[in-house]
């Protein structure tokens, strides 16, 4: 394998790693936004005296059937 080929392979790996890192960053940002909105909604409900409409932990829901 020539030096140019090695550089090209390394560049492709770096590009893939950068793309994965960017995807992780975007997913984390979306998760944080959702969490912030949920917390704001809960805080508003507490201030207004309304009951919290959340039922359980969303990640823990396996089946919606009774």
3-state secondary structure of 45: helix
Task: State how far the Cα of 50 lies from the Cα of 42, in Å rounded to an integer.
Answer: 9
**pLDDT, block means (10 residues), the chain with 66 residues:** 79 90 95 95 81 62 57
Give this prediction's pTM.
Answer: 0.53
């Amino acid at each position: 394998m020539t030096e140019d080929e090695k550089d090209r392979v390394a560049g492709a790996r770096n590009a893939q790693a950068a793309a994965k890192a960017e995807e992780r960053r975007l997913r984390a940002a979306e998760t944080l936004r959702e969490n912030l909105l949920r917390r704001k909604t809960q805080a508003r409900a507490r201030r207004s005296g309304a009951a919290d409409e959340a039922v359980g932990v969303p990640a823990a829901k396996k089946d919606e059937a009774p």
